[in-house]
Structure 1
């Protein structure tokens, strides 16, 4: 109990000092918390999004991927597989398939459609010229052989004739018996996407940036484009790739292919980029197709460990006009163009930098050392004296009484010392006088 009584006496003796210590302690804790938050934001700055419109001198065209429907030649499939085979996804295609005599690559390539069977002759171009386009073919299991048209130039004009002009051709006559026997309407699947990203038929996460239109036979379709450009900032939580040739859709597709090849120990001709032997028997091929179908038919995005692109474009499409072509042939005319050079820009920017960090540091230290803190100390001192004045006065009175008692005791002790000294001197004088008389 002695320690706590001494502490209470010390507090009552000078409460202002205790208040100063408490206020400085609380302020120091607040400043330390603020500084830790400042360092955290400097290390991982928060991201803010800014959107604006940019009027460019030129516009960048998207890539256009065209896939036929139906994707395979049924008569060729039947002939090569040795059975009834409307599509390779069916089991009947593989029951009698001659794996030892026929390569899978030849089976898929021979049963799909060439470029001339998809786009009519030289009836295609960008800004009116075929040399402005680069055409690449790609093989897919469900979609067959598709053709991607990549732009080689940027356009200075935004008119219908300066965009894509495509004349598509088909072998099925509308209203014929062959059309009635098909599962789906004949035509073409048209995908519009960034030319930096390769097309995939799988529902990968990046595929959400592709626009889709189905074109039927004997139509004339005008598709108007709008473009949005996104610039992302790489961070520890959300890394991105600034490589221009990087495609997150291709990365996710390879991820799926690698998983399928590992699980089934074989690949199919459409699984490009995977170093694995092709399937060579009925059982393994059917197992591969079944597992691939699970990925293809899934409604959820396929998530793989793929970075997002730091710079991405999203194209929005609007059907400006859609009408019958009345050509008397199995053709369809498609126009894809911009109507304006205005591009919507969305940029991520760090909302915290070194300048703001220094300003926050100065503000935190100013809070600790500023006059407002000193004024707060004075206010608290006055409040303490107001509410605890009686105890303080009582303590001061008690201390004064103790001090007076100590002084009186000291004075009494001094008087006793003087008396004793006087008695000693008188004794010495008598003894000296007796010695002289003798």
Structure 2
């Protein structure tokens, strides 16, 4: 009985998070997570969502009076936020069309194309409701459909591989070897320089090597480097916002200065102009950014002069090797472990297999010592208290530890279980939760 009273105290203590400079962004709950997120944008009064759910889909718009929601009886093919309106793409009878919705989710115009949903390979729309599309059987032709039924097309020498319209109406088109931009179909101009993998702003793109480019006139110039190519990323007039492999969100100005970071208490799904959409416990949450400058870590960085084989007195306080795992104490950058493993070659990889060279070490990452990333060379990273794998402790870690306490047979071999089992007795107990509660409080207060 005493154990359950203690657990009840924890459950009543932690919801809502704790105050402090290091507190993860908890966010406002929006709705249950859908099967597929098509769009998250920040409108004039709050976030806009378009999600597929089961055999249908739903739209959500935030406002001063709460959230408006529209449930559609059909799945969507895509969505876009343009000029203050939400556009959804769907099949209408035997045609492909785009429907416009206002901030209160009242439906406006519908642009019907002569294409079917099965015909379309690429598509987007303007704020006026015009639809750009590339048909599968005409991959070198860009077609434009207007609300009044007018139709235009433009042919290229090679197949079109990327089509995107920005919120202000800037049209981006890439073929196999060329890249074009313009305010409309008639004034597209060839751009020299880099090649976009993704458009991240009105005049900015990310290439396949993680470099950010800006377009001025008819030329693209590299301005930033080192952004994970597959990361969430968006650009505005002042700089870029991106999420690294650990889930931490960075704000970087165009001159390269990092203006601050913040950490969502959940898995980031989309970045908007003003906040982050994240998933946690099968729910979607939205939180405004709260960027802060990097705080000193809980433990000092190892000196580059540390011997490759340090004696007991030289071992860094944040690292322990035991039972075939690297046990990490505190918020420790990836670079520290790479430095500690020198002079051996080493790789740090996420559970998904992505190699990382910066950010925080997170539970479930793997360190590979030597030239190959084989099982024999692998040591799994366990960060004490980090059940979510983002390298920090927060309320979601307590929720996961409580869940594992009740379902221990399914979780005993998982890294998240080891991160919560502080006394290493093979069980998640009230003693472990008491320790985790203290760790969360310390992290929230920046200690």
TM-score range, shorter chain: under 0.3
**Which one has the largest radius of gyration?**
1
Please give the TM-score of this superposition, normalised by the length of structure 1.
0.23
Q: Going by fraction, where is strand more abundant, 1 or 2?
A: 2
- Structure number with higher relative contact order (C-alpha < 8 Å, ≥ 6 residues apart): 1
